[in-house]
Chains A and B, each alone.
Chain A
Amino acid sequence: MEILRAPLRFVFDRTERLLGLVFPPHWNPMLNLGALGFFFFWIITVSGVYVYIFFDTGVTQAYDSVEYMTHDQWYAAGVMRSLHRYASDGLIVVMLLHIAREFALDRYRGVRWFSWVTGVPVLVMVYAAGITGYWLVWDRLAQYVAIVSTEWLDQLPIFGEPIARNFLSAATLESRFFTLMVFIHIAVPLIALILLWVHLQRVSRPNINPPRGLAIGTLASLLVLSLVHPALSQGPADLSKVVGPIGLDWFYLPLYPVLEHWPGTVTWGGAGALLLMFIAIPWLPPLRKPPVARVDLPNCNGCMRCFNDCPYNAIAMRERSDGLPFERQAVVEPSLCVSCGICAGACPTATPFRRASELVAGIDLPDMTVAELREEVETRCAFRKDEIRILVFGCDHGVSLRGIDGASVKSISLRCIGQLPPSFIDYVLSKRLVDGVVLTGCSENSCYARLGIEWTNERVARERDPMLRARVPRERIRVLWAGRAGRRKLEALLTQFAGDLASLPPGASAVHKPDTREPSKELVDG
């Protein structure tokens, strides 16, 4: 699978970087594909409701009612019809990109199988809704769609009478069929919406609304497209004639020419196999999961920081079970934990300053503990005294740190940058182990563990607990969210940072700021 993922990842990385040249990080469309999908869904819903007011479901009236909307009321219903069409196409685009990107970034295996598998029926539903929508217009394209769809369904040996016979001639066509289609066209998206809700059940704080700027830009571009190139019907359906050249919607109907010409055993077999393969992908092969986070009750006071920060709702707060005088304790749900370590980064007991007692965090990764991290930091920080000393904290899914170490740079790769308790930055700077710290990882808004970057930014900016102490000189910290393709950016940043550090007065404590914040009792500083 990595053979497939690597080139796709490369393409996504490049596209993301290219778009990053003109979009601010949080507006980057590549980083908001799921949210854009929801946005298109709402546009489709609103425009669909408006269009439905004027739509007539009769065999002979359907086409005329759509023509009325398109030409007589082009400024309102016509625009709404075009928005309905183009937002549906946009939904397909972002949905397919979303699937491909999650696949490329390996964000579909392990715990994430649930979101992947529940997304598959959504895909089917969206296609079904779109196809039935084309049917309703009852123009020549609708005639083609109706005939090919029913002929394909007739390949299944479950209908006593071929349902394609409904479209044999005008005499066999009934308005009731259109009423059924309208019902399906409305019911299917509603089911899709319920499935989308299920799709997000194991994701905390899902991003379902694009940033306002991106939403405005997207809506404006669809509006302009609707006015400049409105969606038009392709002549009334006429069952006494074969369908001549037609303009297919290649987003929804690319397989229709195949369905038309290939035998049913191949098309149904292929569709079934494809669907099964899609569902089975998270286990092809399964993700080798590192040990999940572990709670150490003597060090857990039930502060809920790990509970609040976990991106996968893998931590629950339960009634205390060990008799200690706290209300709650954290409990890890192993089937939901991705072992990202963000919980350890959030734990106030995970501070390297602790010397009086053994450094054991209230919650930690068993195979990469905070104590081991402190040891590694101290080992890695054996610099020559006359060099500018920079320590890079990165993550396994962001900029590659392989070979970055040199005389003045040392690096440590974490599971996720959110695994780093902010006190480590304070520790290495206040102990003068290094002159500067670089935090790097995935692209902004594209954190492999979803929220590691966001929480790190907020912790450093003192907006989220555990906060980086105010005394830490911010000019000795650099942050780079550049993703896998950001190696050159990191190298450039390191060069520039070394120069900046050289111009600062020696020693991290040179620019101390008073920490005006009342120290938390839960923080265990050494």
Chain B
Amino acid sequence: MVKVLQYAGQAVVYAAVAVLIGYFASRPLYQQFPDGQAQIKLSFAHGAARVRDCRRLTPQEIAKLPPNERRPNTCDRARVTVRVQLDLDGKIIYDADLPPTGLAGDGPARVYQKFAVPPGRHVLIARLRDGRDTAGFNYETRQEIELAPGQNLAVDFKSDVGGFIFQ
């Protein structure tokens, strides 16, 4: 009888552990994003213009170089910062200077930003400056968008396809 009770007790322990594991393996539910909102995600990696143009080396400068390193041009590695701006319905929701990455400041500038926005019809303008000018933008894309609740709109940038891409 004692043995039967012991086995029953063990069954209770196993059941309790199984319930615990089964429940916490997927409950309670977690709400990551506010209900009824949409999201705009801005992300790209883009190499801006160099801080200085490449220039031709003078014959004297070339002569000073070791024979195996002689070349006609020299270029500074450093790049300028990228300025990016996101305008939603006339309101600037993101405006930032993105420094180049890398120890020598020669890598691409990168951004990864998320914005929760109300669903519905919006006008989204994305602007980017990647040159040495200090005013204005080299790229600007204006798009009317219709966001459904829970929709995720990705805003990418690729200079080789003409600028911003809305996906």
Q: How far is the CB of A40 from chain B (nearest CB, A)?
A: 11
On whether A250 and B22 interact (CB within 8 A), knowing A161-B110, A241-B150, the answer reads: no
Q: Judging by beta carbons under 8 Å apart, are B150 and A244 in contact?
A: yes
Q: Judging by beta carbons under 8 Å apart, are A249 and B25 in contact?
A: yes
Query: Nearest residue in B to A29 (C-beta to C-beta)?
Result: B13
**A221 close to chain B: CB less than 8 A:** yes
Query: Nearest residue in A to B34 (C-beta to C-beta)?
Result: A242
Q: How far is A244 from B108 in the complex, measured between Cα atoms in Å?
A: 33
Q: How far is A231 from B6 in the complex, measured between Cα atoms in Å?
A: 30
Query: Nearest residue in B to A234 (C-beta to C-beta)?
Result: B26
Q: Judging by beta carbons under 8 Å apart, are A89 and B25 in contact?
A: yes
Q: How far is A161 from B98 in the complex, measured between Cα atoms in Å?
A: 13
CB neighbours of A222 from chain B (8 A)? 18
Q: Judging by beta carbons under 8 Å apart, are A165 and B45 in contact?
A: yes
**B54 close to chain A: CB less than 8 A:** no
**A448 close to chain B: CB less than 8 A:** no
CB neighbours of A168 from chain B (8 A)? 41, 43, 154, 156, 167
Query: Nearest residue in A to B8 (C-beta to C-beta)?
Result: A22
Q: Judging by beta carbons under 8 Å apart, are A248 and B21 in contact?
A: no
**B152 close to chain A: CB less than 8 A:** yes
Query: Nearest residue in B to A144 (C-beta to C-beta)?
Result: B32
Q: Judging by beta carbons under 8 Å apart, are B167 and A243 in contact?
A: no
Q: Judging by beta carbons under 8 Å apart, are B43 and A90 in contact?
A: no
Query: Nearest residue in B to A251 (C-beta to C-beta)?
Result: B24
**A157 close to chain B: CB less than 8 A:** yes
CB neighbours of A326 from chain B (8 A)? none
Residues of chain B at interface, number, CB under 8 A? 43
**B163 close to chain A: CB less than 8 A:** no
Q: How far is A246 from B25 in the complex, measured between Cα atoms in Å?
A: 11
**A93 close to chain B: CB less than 8 A:** yes
CB neighbours of B33 from chain A (8 A)? 242-244
**A525 close to chain B: CB less than 8 A:** no
CB neighbours of A161 from chain B (8 A)? 45, 108, 110
Contacts of A185-241 to chain B: CB distance below 8 A = 217-218, 220-222, 224-225, 228-229, 231-232, 234, 239-241
Contacts of B75-109 to chain A: CB distance below 8 A = 101-102, 107-108
Query: Nearest residue in A to B116 (C-beta to C-beta)?
Result: A242
Q: Judging by beta carbons under 8 Å apart, are A221 and B14 in contact?
A: yes
Query: Nearest residue in A to B39 (C-beta to C-beta)?
Result: A242
Q: Judging by beta carbons under 8 Å apart, are B30 and A245 in contact?
A: yes
Q: How far is the CB of B154 from chain A (nearest CB, A)?
A: 4
Of the residues A24, A162, A239, A242, contact of B32 by C-beta under 8 Å: A242
Q: How far is the CB of A166 from chain B (nearest CB, A)?
A: 10
**B55 close to chain A: CB less than 8 A:** no
**B151 close to chain A: CB less than 8 A:** yes
Q: Judging by beta carbons under 8 Å apart, are A169 and B22 in contact?
A: no
Of the residues B12, B43, B152, contact of A242 by C-beta under 8 Å: B152
On whether A241 and B152 interact (CB within 8 A), knowing A161-B110, A171-B167, A220-B14, the answer reads: yes
CB neighbours of A151 from chain B (8 A)? 112
Q: How far is A90 from B25 in the complex, measured between Cα atoms in Å?
A: 10
Q: How far is the CB of B144 from chain A (nearest CB, A)?
A: 18
**B135 close to chain A: CB less than 8 A:** no
Query: Nearest residue in A to B10 (C-beta to C-beta)?
Result: A22
Q: How far is A169 from B166 in the complex, measured between Cα atoms in Å?
A: 10
**B145 close to chain A: CB less than 8 A:** no
**B58 close to chain A: CB less than 8 A:** no
A-B pairs with the 10 shortest C-beta distances? A22-B9, A247-B26, A221-B14, A161-B45, A169-B167, A169-B154, A225-B18, A242-B33, A250-B24, A162-B112
Q: Give residues in A with beta carbon < 8 Å to B.
A: 19, 21-24, 27, 29, 85-86, 89-90, 93, 144, 151, 154, 157, 160-162, 164-165, 168-169, 171-172, 217-218, 220-222, 224-225, 228-229, 231-232, 234, 239-251, 257, 260
23 A-B pairs (CB sep. < 8 Å): A22-B8, A86-B18, A89-B24, A90-B17, A154-B112, A161-B45, A165-B43, A172-B154, A220-B14, A221-B14, A222-B18, A225-B22, A229-B22, A231-B25, A234-B26, A240-B152, A242-B39, A244-B32, A245-B32, A248-B29, A249-B24, A251-B24, A251-B25
